[in-house]
Structure 1
Amino acid sequence: MKASSQTVGYDSLTNFLGDKPHPYIGEVLYLKGKPAFQRNEGYENFVIDYKIDKLKKDNVYQCCDYYNAKYDALHGHSFKVTAVLPHPKAVSKPYPYASLFFLQLQDVVNNQTCYYEYDTKLASKFPFTVVGYYEKIKNNSIGNNYVFKNAEVRKLTGKNPQPGELWKCTDMIIENEENKIAMKFANGAGISFTVPYDEVAGTYNAAEAFTETAAAGYKQRFGNENWNALLYNQLKNGMSEEMCRVAWGEPNRTNNLSDGTEQWVYETRYLYFKGGKLTRVQ
């Protein structure tokens, strides 16, 4: 089975490429760490030969913690992507294998070749930071001012912030514990904190911060009263769908009810809309 001949370059705008992984070719991936309580599980989906079952222990790269690669053997390694290969079973069994690929990797530490089974549907399971992505967002973030949601600042500093207070990004790092991208911020009073980039960007949940430019745009569109409420994650009837997304992020799913109401389902809460306006919070 041959690697794709696609040569579309990586634009460094996204860490996880979903169902279009071929631009990873030529990029360097940095393997992220795990919380202490997960380290004994090792790293899953690393194999020596992508044509052999990944559950065969003698095919696990840097075997083994359970049936996975040893955590201590791979933690902190970088890998260069040399090819992207379709799953060997993708033709004979499109479901579920059509959504799986193998990234052919060169381990930068020891120059060995291995393969990582890449699932196009599971962004949260992707264990790498693309070095080019990290460098780009670092260059684009340092020196910029951000407005944080009030609860986030209170959690990080123990102080009640002023609504709309500006925090300057002073640095971006890969923190030591879990090797995740983190951003450092400080305000004019010299108070500083460090926060995971995914929380700022809203990678998995609602964004906890906005660039000064984006915040000014929201404030102008929504009005000062609504904007300040959203910084506290507070919703009220009549708010638009966009306002609710800013406060709570994208819903897990939506349902169209028989009375013409649209229901947004979050983990433990529900929102109801008619004509694009919020009518009830449950």
Structure 2
Amino acid sequence: MRTIPFIMLFLSCSLYAVAQLNIIPKNDGLKEYTVQNAQPYDSLTNVESRSFASLPGQTLYMHGAKNDSRGYYEVFFTGNFLDGEKQPVYQMDGVSVTPAKSVVGKYYEVLKVWTKGTGCCILLREKESGDEIYYNPYRYPLCMTCLGFYEKLKRYIGQAFFSLAKRVETEDGQIITPPEGTEYHCMDIGLKMNSDGAFLIMEGADSVKVEAFPIGDEVYEFVSAKRISLLKEQYGDNFGKQIAFRKVDTGMTKEMVVVAWGEPYRKSEIKKENGTLETWSFSDNRYVELFNGKVLNVRVY
């Protein structure tokens, strides 16, 4: 009989402990960004995964994607499509398609952004009509340009650039490949309807104007005189110039390879008696062999 009070005391303590459990609901991974908690926008990136959390409060212009005559399939909705429920398509024409004329050529204010895993939903307000629509940027990532990004591109105007021997389009629509090292100057910033977005207008000594597209803080088809000078100062005249022109050579360090070509998509290594042999694999069938941290061999197929 003396054990009963002890048992009752144990049970009462257990019930009290259960009552104090802090049950945390499982996070479904949905993150919401508004003007109040948006990350700072540096204007170096357009509408892409690196800038999604920074877009609330920004203004986007819908210049449209290439070949959008059939409209935009499951790109614009009337509700948040990341919340688990199927949402109706905005201004639907046929099956899950928004006509191009309903969205192209308009300005949109970014009200909210939601991210979930690899998905993103952006709530927009069309400035003229006040319509609120939900945009899936992964379907057509190049159909909108952020005005902040466009304005920041003007920093390139007046700068000198040198060709990387890549194909470029001229003012009259011709495709040319300027020889490597040909000097150009940025004259202005342009934006065409139904295009890949904002671009730099470059002019060569022959007065021919061509288009060049920014990637982050660089330009895809050209390298700036500023970048060449900076890399020469950091890595020496020889290696610095090669890195600027996106070339990898024997004797370069791992850091130099990454600056020139970016991070490899695969790495492998073999331990040897006198050191470590690594093989780095890059896109476009490019391979670099490094021995004890320095480039031993470069293979480009």
Q: Normalization by structure 1: what TM-score?
A: 0.73
Cα drift, residue 237 of structure 1: 2.2
| Rg larger in structure | 2
Look up the match of 2:270.
Answer: 258
Tell me, yes or no, if structure 1 residue 34 matches structure 2 residue 65: yes
* Residue number in structure 2 paired with 1:73: 102
> Alignment length, in residue pairs?
258
Structure-2 change in CA distance of 1:234 and 1:102 (3 Å): closer
In the other structure, the counterpart of 1:185 is: 202
Instruction: Identify the residue that residue 9 of structure 2 maps to in structure 1.
Output: none
Separation in 1, partners of 2:234, 2:38: 41
Displacement of 1:169 in angstroms is 0.4
Equivalences for 1:93-242 in 2 at 5 Å? 97-117=116-136, 125=141, 127-138=143-154, 140-152=155-167, 157-160=176-179, 163=181, 165-178=182-195, 180-198=197-215, 201=218, 207-226=220-239, 234-242=247-255
Which is helix-richer, 1 or 2? 1
> Using the alignment, how far apart are the partners of 2:262 and 2:298 within structure 1?
15
- Distance, in Å, in 2 between the alignment partners of 1:23 and 1:108 is 20
CA distance in 1, matches of 2:294, 2:93: 53
Give, in whole Å, the separation in 2 of the partners of 1:156 and 1:227: 30
Pairwise CA distance, 1:112: 0.7
SS in 2 for 1:271: strand
Name the counterpart of 2:111.
82
Letter in 2 for 1:134: Y
Q: Is the 8 A contact 2:150 2:198 kept in 1?
A: yes
Residue 266 (structure 1) shift: 1.7
| Per-residue CA distance 1:217-252 (angstroms, 9 max, x = gap) | 2234455554565576554322334544455x3245
In the alignment, the residues of structure 1 paired with residue 175 and residue 51 of structure 2 have an alpha-carbon distance, to the nearest angstrom, of 36
Inter-CA distance 33–200: structure 2 relative to 1 (3 Å threshold): farther
| 8 A Cα contact 1:200 1:209, kept in partner | no
Q: What CA distance in whole angstroms lies between the structure 1 residues aligned with 2:111 and 2:121?
A: 11
Helix, strand or coil at the partner of 1:64: coil
Distance in 2, matches of 1:215 and 1:65, equals 52
- Does structure 1 conserve the Cα–Cα contact (< 8 Å) formed by 2:212 and 2:222? no
The unaligned stretches of length 5 or more in structure 2 are 1-29
TM-score by length of 2: 0.69
Stretch of structure 1 that moved more, 108-117 or 215-224? 215-224
- Does the CA-based 8 Å contact 1:54-1:60 persist in structure 2? no
